Amino acid sequence: MRNLLFLLVLVSVHPAWSGDIQLSSQCPASFEKHDGQCRLVSNYSQYASLENGGVGGLKTGLPAIRDGFTAEEIDLGRYLFFDPILSGNGRQACASCHNPDKGFADGRQFSLGSTGLATERNAPSLWNVGFLKRFFLDGRAATLEQQMQGPLYSKTEMNSSPDKIVASLNGNRTYRRLFATAYPAALSGPKAAIRIDQVYRSIAAFETSLISLNSRYDLYAHGIPDALNQQEVAGLNVFRSFVARCAECHTPPLFSNQQIVVIGTPEPPGHLFDPGAGSFSPEPRLRGGFKVPSLRNVELTAPYMHSGRFKTLREVVSFYNEGRGHAVPKEEKLFLHWHIHEPKLTDAELDRLVDFLKTLTDESFKPQRPTAVPSGLSASQ
């Protein structure tokens, strides 16, 4: 009897064995299944999208999202996202730098890679990444599949290789079963093997399911005036004004126009100037340029800017208020974006801007973190 009780205790506290893992056949929240594919449904679908910039009215739609994955592909990508099996040393996962509990960033000024050393830039959030057309802070990748190969194979990040990843996954019985579930036609034969493009596609499928469109701002935009208080509405008015011009780049409802802009933020002490998009483009106007990030869940993703230079949102809005080019090194001749000027906002207006930015917080569709991953390794925390 004592042995039986001991066994029951073990069963109750031990995480699920990886061999028990099954892929969900249900689409994530905010997606509906049509002809076997998960398609996004949101209140913004009823509005026309604004693809070419502008300030974005309250009834402006979103840009096209990349969807149409199966529920099984998305769930397989969720397990891969949290599984350190993709890293060279078996200790890093995608979620190590894109933690769902930190706005899918990591709360650090610079992320830490496989060597334990800091990387060169701040980790961007992944919320609503399915709407984006450029990836990396400098915009050098055109697809999520291209983007993920950067950290996967970087010596200072996950330090893996395509051969190592497919060998590890094909050597894992659970992953072979899961991939056969997600890609039955491709893995139907006895000699069929997991391919690296399937790895990329399933992670992309999961990332595009990370939807945040139910903030208090969204309730206000869809006709619920009491969703924002008086101070927050005042902040929205400053945000959309032609004095502050925030909405010209952070265009609602995505809160990004997805352009590369040069704003001249300062580097941390002791760090060399980061040329951003200018590091891979010969166009002089792109030197120091970075992609305009979405402001969705920005309250959760401190510190801010490509260098993590600012610890608070108040510091960020103050930077924009301090004058055109005030932080640009004297030896740099940058082509600053024309919206970067000197709005001369009052302290009260800056405070209201911060109040408004916090209304963009929404984690209602935050995905479930796996209690166990197919590799049997410790799931990324």
pTM score, whole prediction? 0.92
The pLDDT confidence band at residue 1, using thresholds 50, 70 and 90, is very low
pLDDT score of 12 more than 50: no
pLDDT (tens digit per residue) in 174-212? 999 999 999 998 777 777 899 999 999 999 999 999 999
SS (H, E, C) the chain: CHHHHHHHHHHHHCCCCHHHCCCCCCCCCCEEEECCEEEECCHHHHCCECCCCCCCCCCCECCCCCCCECHHHHHHHHHHHHCHHHCCCCCCCHHHHCEHHHCCECCCCCCECCCCCECCCCCCCCCCHHHCCCECCCCCECCHHHHHHHHHHCCCCCCCCHHHHHHHHHCCHHHHHHHHHHCCCCCCCCCCCCCHHHHHHHHHHHHCCCCCCCCHHHHHHCCCHHHCCHHHHHHHHHHCCCCCCHHHHCCCCCCCCCCEEECCCCCCCCCCCCCEHHHCCCCHHHCCEEECCCCCCHHHCCCECCCCCECCHHHHHHHHHCCCCCCCCCCCCCCCCCCCCCCCCCHHHHHHHHHHHHHHCCCCCCCCCCCCCCCCCCCCC
Share of residues in the chain with pLDDT > 70 (%): 93
Q: What is the pLDDT of residue 150?
A: 96
> What is the distance, to the nearest Å, from the Cα of residue 143 to the centroid of all Cα atoms in its chain?
13
Tell me what pLDDT residue 52 has. 57
Whether residue 356 has pLDDT greater than 70: yes
Rounded mean pLDDT, 216-222: 97
Structural contact between residues 294 and 125, judged by C-beta atoms closer than 8 angstroms: yes
pLDDT per residue as tens digits for the range 255-281: 999 999 999 999 999 899 999 999 998
Name the burial class of residue 37, with classes exposed (0-12), middle (13-18) and buried (19+) by CB atoms within 10 angstroms of its CB. Answer: middle
Q: Which residue has the tokens 């990591």?
A: 106
CA pseudo-torsion sign 133, 47, 128, 183: negative
**Average pLDDT, rounded, for the chain:** 91
Q: What is the b/e burial string over 10-30, where b = at least 16 CB atoms within 10 angstroms of the residue's CB?
A: eeeeeeeebeebebeeebbeb
What was the pLDDT predicted at 19? 66
Tokens 């590091």 — which residue? 279
pLDDT(220) > 60: yes
All domains of the chain in start order, with CATH: 18-49+64-207 (1.10.760.10), 216-360 (1.10.760.10)
Whether the pLDDT of residue 17 is over 70: the answer is no
Tokens of 51: 């693809």
The CA distance from 179 to 189, in Å, is 13
Chain segment 47-66, per-residue pLDDT in tens = 988 775 667 788 899 999 99
